[in-house]
Structure formats: structure tokens, C-alpha cells
Amino acid sequence: MRTLRNFIDGTWTDSRGDVLLDLVDPATEEVLARHPGGSAEDVDAAVAAAVAAHPAWAATPVGERVARIFTWADAIAAHADELVELECREMGKPLGIGRTFLDGAVAGLRAAADEALSYDFEELIEHPDGSRTRILRHPLGATAVITPWNFPVTAVLAAIGPLLAAGNTVVLKPSERAPLSVVRLLELAEFPPGVVNLVLGDARAGTPLAEHEQIRLVHFTGSVATGRRVGAAAGEQLRRAVLELGGKDPVVVDAGVDPVATAQAVAFGAFVNTGQICTSMERIYVHRDVAEPFVEALVAAAESFPVGNGLDEGVVLGPLVDRRQREIVVRHVEDAVQKGAKVRTGGIVPAGKGFYYPPTVLTDVDDSMLVLTEETFGPVAPVVVVDSFEEGLERASQSKYGLAATVYTDNSDHIDAAARIPAGVTWVNQWQGGGPERLYEPAGDSGMGATGARAAYDAATRPSSVHIAAA
Ligand code: NAD
């Protein structure tokens, strides 16, 4: 049985911790590998390597840093099938959908690195009185990237490009629930020793990394609860934290839309990756005029998805990542049913191996239920019928989360009104998209720190000004 190792200062090394965890295939419940539970000693060694590597990496011309990232992107693209298979084995994502997201992530890494070539790391402002101000943007130093399991490779690639291209070094800690593909990702990287380090483990590694006094920025993607701890540690250390956290994304379906086509789009947004996307559609507000055919089509779409082991051809929905995640989904649905919700399809844990849960549609739901208030992170679509678009918009806006939102409407006033939902990104008549130029900061509890295009470079650097008096 393979035991995964850390990658520190350019060398694969055994963890110094004494706990080994089993990595379980969620489709078969077989143990795939053993991996370290993590330790503060591992973190100390990785941070020391990142700190030591920083001066030389920061002094490397930006064009060379970007070229190395491109070389890595090429290697990832050349091994895409292998990486997608590893993701499928460790967390259940079917191959087809995994490939689509991985291709997007590689394109995103390239676009983000490319941005460095036009970013103003140095600007000169000439004032009318003959004085000049130089504005310099310095890399921060050693940084930490902590990622979740739902998109193991994508989450790393989304965070790491601007940090590295701006001249920072990185200690990466992937989720203990999906470390296999990220280990392979690092095997494909050819940076100078210490520039990218990998520390495996759960909170035993995450906590000392987030709290480490020599880390100058933590880029964290994960749950709100852990994000609060990471943010608190950043406050204690007076350093930057970028927090990309959970959501409870609403969808507003207006009167006048094609209920069947919209329901099919919503089914995809609610169920793909078995509902385990931070921007999964988790609250659906549908106008009464189209509610009946919409729910009927949503149920039909839910029942049409091939569910199974993601390695099998044609499968669209795999299992949930593990038993723990399925227990959360079961608890949310049971809570809703106890409080009067109707299960229109799904809602029953299937017998047999694997952490499967069927696509589930609930109606007669209200805000007393967990399915409308807490992130479920599973294939559950709760539908609320509203009497007007305005009511849908208002209810969509009533959440402690504010990651993303989607509106389906053919009314141009309503398209304009969609921007009123407090969210980092609002999609109209589509779900996902917007490209690398998309700039946003999550609202509410969904995170902190702007993301996208140049904002990532602003976050990855510290500006200073040098003012030179007129001669
Ligand atoms: P999680 O918060 O449990 O874990 C995330 C990471 O933090 C893991 O690597 C974990 O080991 C580590 N960690 C655990 N305790 C820690 C601590 N005390 N200090 C530092 N690190 C610690 O989240 P998860 O279950 O892995 O991921 C699912 C969550 O991620 C969902 O809420 C989802 O919405 C969110 N997510 C957000 C985005 C986004 O872009 N906003 C993207 C993907 C996932």
C-alpha cells in the first residue's frame, strides 16, 4: 500500500508526524493509499524551505517565473487524463466532468500567469512640479495555500498562479480527503527547490500552517467555520488572508421563461459534482406561473442522470466524497421532511457499497429548515414557489452567505435588478462563466478578499512608494 509523502525543499520526504490516515475510494470503500495526518514539524520544515527559497525566486525575472508556470501548465495538460482519474478515485468526480473542469483550470492558470507580464510591478508617476513617485509592488514572501477536496486540482491551480508569478514562494496543504491528485500535480512541477512545497495532513497540518509567524499570506479555500479560524490567525499575525468560503447559492426563476429548459439547467447547477460545488444551486425560488411544469421537469431531469462509479463510461453523478459528507446531506433532508417538506424524488440512501445519494428534489420548504439556511453540499434541490420576481429576489438575498447567484428571466428590468442580490458573482440566464476578467469579492460569510484578474496580483504583492523631490 502506497504511503504519500510531503514535498519539501525539492525532495519527497516522510512526514515527521506519527499518524497515518486511510484514503478511501468513495465508490468502492476500498483503501487507496495511506497518508500523513500532519504535524507542526512538517509545517516548520516546509515554511523554512519556502522562506529560504524566497529571495532567489523574487529576484528571478518575472518572464522566467511565468515561463516556468507555463511549463508546469503544459505538463498538467499532458497528464490531464491521469489527474482526472486520480480525482475520481479519491473523491468520486466522474471522468467527463472532471476533464471539463481540469481543462478550465489549466487555461485559468495560464491566463493568471500571463497577467503578470502586463501587471505594473513598478510604476513611475511624474508630477507637474518635477518630483517623481515610484510605486513598487513587492512579493510578500512565503505564502500558504490551503485547499478543499471538492476540486482538488482546480482549487490549487486557481490560487497558486498569481502568488508564484508575483515572486512569492508557497507551502501548499491540500485536503486530507483528496491528497492523491495534488501529490501528482507536484510531481509534475519543476520549480527550484523550496519554491513550491507540499505538506499533507488535516487540521494537524492546517492549523500550524495558518498560524505560522513566517507566512505572509494565507490563501484559504474551504468552509466558513475553518475560514473564521484562518482569518483569526491572520489577524493575530497581522498578515493577509484571502478567504474563499462556502455558499448557499440562490436561483430565481422568473415567469415567462421556458420552464423545461430552465429546469434542466437548474438540475445541472444543483446536482453536478453531486452537489459538491461552492456555487452549487442550493435554494431555488420559482415564480408561481411556471412552478408546476418547472418542478415536473426538475424531477424528470434529476431522475435522468446516470449515477455510479465515475470511472464508468456515461456516469454523470458519482458518490459523495465520504460517509461524513453523506451524513450531513441525510441530516438536512430528514430535518426538512420532519418540518413538512415533500420529497418529489430521491431522498433515500441506496443499499450497497459507496457513499451514494440520489439527486433529490424537495418542495414545501421554508426558512426553518437546514436545506434553506445551511450549506448542504450534496445533490439536494429545495424549491420555493414565489408570487413575484421581486419576492424571489428578496428571498434570494436573505442569507448569511453571498458567494454567487443565478437569475433566469427574459425581462430586461429584471436582468438589471439581478445585481441587487448580494453576491460575489451573479449569472443571468446561464450558470458559471465570465472568464479570467471576472472580478469579485464574496459577500457575507462567503469570504474575504477580491479575486480575479489583477486583483489576485494586488493581493499577492505589497505596494510601497518612493517619492523623489524635483531636482
Ligand atoms: P474545510 O474547511 O473542512 O477544509 C478546508 C481545508 O482546511 C482542508 O485542507 C483542511 O484540512 C484544512 N483545515 C482544517 N482545519 C484547519 C484549521 N484549523 N486551520 C487551517 N486549515 C484547516 O472545507 P472542506 O470540507 O474541505 O471543503 C468544502 C468547503 O469548501 C465548502 O464549504 C465549500 O463551499 C468550500 N469551497 C469554497 C470555494 C470558493 O471558491 N469559495 C471553492 C471550493 C470549496
Positions in the chain whose pLDDT score sits under 70: none
- What per-residue confidence (pLDDT) applies to 437? 80
Please give the distance, rounded to the nearest whole angstrom, from the Cα atom of residue 303 to the centre of ligand 1.
30
Cβ proximity of 92 and 318 under 8 Å: yes
Q: How many domains does the chain have?
A: 2
Q: Does residue 210's CB lie within 6 angstroms of at least one atom of ligand 1?
A: yes
Instruction: Tell whether 142 and 44 lie within a shared domain.
Output: yes
- What per-residue confidence (pLDDT) applies to 452? 84
Task: Specify the CATH number for the domain of residue 234.
Answer: 3.40.605.10
Q: Does residue 194's CB lie within 6 angstroms of at least one atom of ligand 1?
A: no
Q: Does residue 148's CB lie within 6 angstroms of at least one atom of ligand 1?
A: yes
Instruction: Tell whether 310 and 208 lie within a shared domain.
Output: no
Q: Where are the alpha helices (DSSP H) in 17-142?
A: 40-59, 62-78, 80-91, 95-115
The 3-state secondary structure of 255-297, one letter per residue? CCCCHHHHHHHHHHHHHHHHHCCCCCEEEEEEEHHHHHHHHHH
- What per-residue confidence (pLDDT) applies to 438? 86
Instruction: Tell whether 105 and 180 lie within a shared domain.
Output: yes
Nearest-CA residue for ligand 1 atom 22 is 206
User: Strand pairing partners for 105?
Assistant: none
Please give the distance, rounded to the nearest whole angstrom, from the Cα atom of residue 354 to the centre of ligand 1.
23
Instruction: Give buried/exposed letters for 255-270 (b at 16+ CB in 10 A, else e).
Output: bebebbebbbbbbbbb
Residue 374 annotated as catalytic: no
Q: Does residue 447's CB lie within 6 angstroms of at least one atom of ligand 1?
A: yes
- What per-residue confidence (pLDDT) applies to 435? 80
- The widest CA-to-CA distance across the chain, in whole angstroms, is 82
Cα-based distances in Å from 116 to 233, 276, 319 = 29, 32, 39
- Ligand 1 atom with the shortest distance to the CA of 175: 9
Residue 441 within any structural domain of the chain? no
Instruction: Tell whether 232 and 188 lie within a shared domain.
Output: yes
Candidates 90, 115, 211, 244; catalytic one: 244
Q: Which of 223, 375, 438 to probe ligand 1 with, by most ligand atoms within 8 A of CB?
A: 223
Q: Which three cell numbers stand for residue 232?
A: 483569526
Instruction: Tell whether 197 and 329 lie within a shared domain.
Output: no
24: left (phi over 0), alpha (psi -120 to 50) or beta: beta
CA angle 245, 138, 113 (to 5 degrees): 60
Using DSSP, state whether 78 is helix, strand or coil.
helix
How many angstroms separate the CA atoms of 65 and 319, rounded?
A: 39
- Ligand 1 atom with the shortest distance to the CA of 227: 2
Instruction: Tell whether 206 and 330 lie within a shared domain.
Output: no
Candidates 88, 115, 278, 374; catalytic one: 278
Residue 126 annotated as catalytic: no
Instruction: Tell whether 115 and 219 lie within a shared domain.
Output: yes
| Cα torsion 105, 247, 276, 219: sign | positive
Instruction: Tell whether 257 and 401 lie within a shared domain.
Output: yes
Instruction: Tell whether 73 and 121 lie within a shared domain.
Output: yes
Task: Specify the CATH number for the domain of residue 333.
Answer: 3.40.309.10
How many angstroms separate the CA atoms of 337 and 252, rounded?
A: 23
Instruction: Tell whether 332 and 459 lie within a shared domain.
Output: no
Q: Does residue 68's CB lie within 6 angstroms of at least one atom of ligand 1?
A: no
Give the containing element (helix H, strand E) for 11: strand 11-13
Q: What's the Rg (C-alpha) of the chain?
A: 23
User: Strand pairing partners for 34?
Assistant: 3, 22
Please give the distance, rounded to the nearest whole angstrom, from the Cα atom of residue 167 to the centre of ligand 1.
25
Pairing of strands 281-287, 249-253: parallel
Residue 440 within any structural domain of the chain? no
Q: Does residue 453's CB lie within 6 angstroms of at least one atom of ligand 1?
A: no
pTM listed for this prediction:
0.98
Q: Does residue 226's CB lie within 6 angstroms of at least one atom of ligand 1?
A: yes
Residue 276 within any structural domain of the chain? yes
Instruction: Tell whether 49 and 90 lie within a shared domain.
Output: yes
Structural domain of residue 456, as residue ranges? 6-245+446-468
Please give the distance, rounded to the nearest whole angstrom, from the Cα atom of residue 240 to the centre of ligand 1.
18
Instruction: Tell whether 24 and 98 lie within a shared domain.
Output: yes
